[in-house]
Amino acid sequence: MGLRKILDFKVPREHYQADAIIIWCFDERFDEYRERKPLIRFLFSVLFWIGMKRFNPETSLLRAYIKQKRFHHPDVIKWAGGAKPLVFEGEGNRNAFRHKLETAIRLHGAPRIVLMLHADCGAFNFGDDPSEELENHLAGLCLAGDFLKREFPDKEIELLLADFNGLYALG
């Protein structure tokens, strides 16, 4: 079996320091990969600029957040449920996830860890009650934040909740 190149693409060899480790759900609704055509992107930018905020020129919530924070080198870890393994999946998964964070910190020295949960996440089973879902997500983010503050006391911890209208910081 031979190896054949399928894409010619140059990747920088230089190592970097990450701005943050972002733990995000892999639900594409919150991080679309499609590219908007330049004219459509321009029109959305104009509408956004004149105050029609629902026409966001960014293609995804994650990319808009990274841009707003001015991160140049975020390490994004996508996991079903985002921060879920740190709270809702037991000690074994929590320890495995902590090990992945330790490795990312050792390799790229990020000063910040960002955790995200989002509304209508298929990795959770909170039923159809939005208030119950919100209550559980907020409690989960608090527990995950406390865990990370104990495990990584020198890191800044940011807790985020996303819904279909935007991104909210806890705290």
Query: Would the pLDDT of 55 be above 50?
Result: no
Please tell me the distance from the alpha carbon of residue 83 to that of residue 7, in angstroms, as a whole number.
33
Considering the domain boundaries, does residue 104 fall inside one?
Answer: yes
Considering the domain boundaries, does residue 146 fall inside one?
Answer: yes
Considering the domain boundaries, does residue 70 fall inside one?
Answer: yes
pLDDT bracket for residue 64 (50, 70, 90): confident
Which residues face 77 on adjacent strands?
A: 23
Q: What is the pLDDT of residues 129-157, one digit of tens each?
A: 888 888 888 998 998 999 999 999 999 99
Considering the domain boundaries, does residue 13 fall inside one?
Answer: no
Query: Would the pLDDT of 79 be above 90?
Result: no
What total of structural domains would you count in the chain? 1
Considering the domain boundaries, does residue 67 fall inside one?
Answer: yes
Query: Would the pLDDT of 11 be above 50?
Result: yes
Please tell me the distance from the alpha carbon of residue 28 to that of residue 84, in angstroms, as a whole number.
17
Give how far Cα 146 sits from Cα of 51, 133, 143, Å: 38, 20, 5
Considering the domain boundaries, does residue 36 fall inside one?
Answer: no
Q: Can you point out the beta strands (E) in 109-165? A: 112-118, 156-163
Q: What is the CATH number of the domain that holds 83?
A: 3.40.1050.10
Considering the domain boundaries, does residue 10 fall inside one?
Answer: no
Most confident of 1-15, 42-56, 111-125: 1-15
Mean pLDDT over residues 123-132, rounded? 79
Considering the domain boundaries, does residue 48 fall inside one?
Answer: no
Q: Which domain holds residue 72?
A: 20-30+61-170
